[in-house]
Amino acid sequence: MPDRIAEVTALLAEVLAPRAPLTVIVDGGDPGAAAVFASRLAAAFPSASRAWSIDAVLGLTGPGGGASDSALNVLEPATDRVLVFLRGGPRHRFAEGDGERRAQVVIDNRDPEWPVIRQIDPDLAEPDRWYLSEGRAFFAAKAADWDSKFGDDMPRYAEAVRLAGVQPGHVVLDIGCGTGRALPALAAAAGPTGRVVGLDFTPDMLDAARKAGRDECATLLLGDARRLPVADAAADVLFAAGLVHHLPDPAAGLAELARVTRPGGTLAIFHPTGRAQLAARHGRTLRPGEPMSSERLGPLLDGSGWALQSYEDVPDRFLALATRCS
């Protein structure tokens, strides 16, 4: 098993070293976790970079002064400072404050032995430096028990496929298919004259799909949703479950989905729970202007080659349907 702490701290050291000297402040609400991570990060830098100051924030609280408030709430990014936020605990208890929003680096540290970078400010590093490897690490750790944990979602997937309007003979792409929960319903709707392709960037997820026998009804491809190995205008329907909000650049991602869809084709952006319910599952609250919000998704689609047709965000389903513009 790889040493994820070493991998993450080495990547951050590589990204940040050219900006030395500066102060890196690590906070996650849990002083012990912050101190351990800060120590490992400091050790990852070469001796020539010891002008750095890498600190865990200890005993500092935000404006609310309560245990649920992030220490980073009292700090702002600056040219000589980088804020690193650790999401910690089984549920992120510190989401009510703005610490995570202010941080330039966000790390999922719920399992301290398996930290995963979830965000780096583009001013520090382009997504190509971290997105693929860290995204794979995030989902690889979850692949084995994904279906057992979320197996009761299957009827919601089937209903979403029905509403997406997949017809016999259609070419359908399931982008970010994961373990392939939508593939049987998509294949049944497309029929023997259609074709269904499931694409995911995590090999472990595709392995789980094969173990579940879902490669029998669809072709499985390893690939990045930002650079699809698919010809222009090849698909009639794109099904994207739990994908768009994970993309580092949603507008660019939606434009790539538009590229592979024929004019008049359909994009179904789906999640088997509503946005508020999903946020609560991860211990956070929704903020205005998030990519999947009603006020932002329409303009994002409009600028990426799509026209939003319907938007539904209820407790047991998120489903936005869009049509590829001609």
CATH at residue 201: 3.40.50.150
The domain boundary residue, chosen from 95, 118, 140:
140
The answer on 308 and 169 residing in a single domain is yes
The domain boundary residue, chosen from 81, 112, 140:
140
The answer on 305 and 165 residing in a single domain is yes
Q: What is the pLDDT of residues 307-322, one digit of tens each?
A: 999 999 999 999 999 9
Angle at 142 between CA 216 and CA 152, to 5 degrees: 65
The answer on 125 and 180 residing in a single domain is no
The boundaries of the domain holding residue 307 are: 147-324
The answer on 240 and 122 residing in a single domain is no
- Number of folded domains that form the chain: 2
Helix (H, G, I), strand (E, B) or coil at 192: coil
The answer on 200 and 105 residing in a single domain is no
The answer on 275 and 152 residing in a single domain is yes
The answer on 165 and 128 residing in a single domain is no
Q: Which of 269, 264, 194, 262 is nearest to 232 (CA)?
A: 262
The answer on 171 and 74 residing in a single domain is no
pLDDT of 288 strictly over 90: no
Q: What is the pLDDT of residues 148-190, one digit of tens each?
A: 888 788 899 999 999 999 999 999 999 999 999 999 999 999 9
Q: What is the pLDDT of residues 82-104, one digit of tens each?
A: 889 898 754 444 444 567 888 89
The answer on 230 and 185 residing in a single domain is yes
For the chain, percent of residues with pLDDT exceeding 70: 90
The answer on 215 and 71 residing in a single domain is no
Q: Which of 81, 126, 127, 83 is nearest to 102 (CA)?
A: 83
The domain boundary residue, chosen from 140, 171, 192:
140
The answer on 151 and 136 residing in a single domain is no
**DSSP 8-state code for residue 260:** T
Return the structure tokens found at 223.
Answer: 């690939």
Return the structure tokens found at 160.
Answer: 């979403």
What H or E segment, with its residue span, contains residue 307?
Answer: strand 306-314
The answer on 162 and 112 residing in a single domain is no
What are the φ and ψ backbone dihedral angles of 62, each rounded to 5 degrees? -80, -175
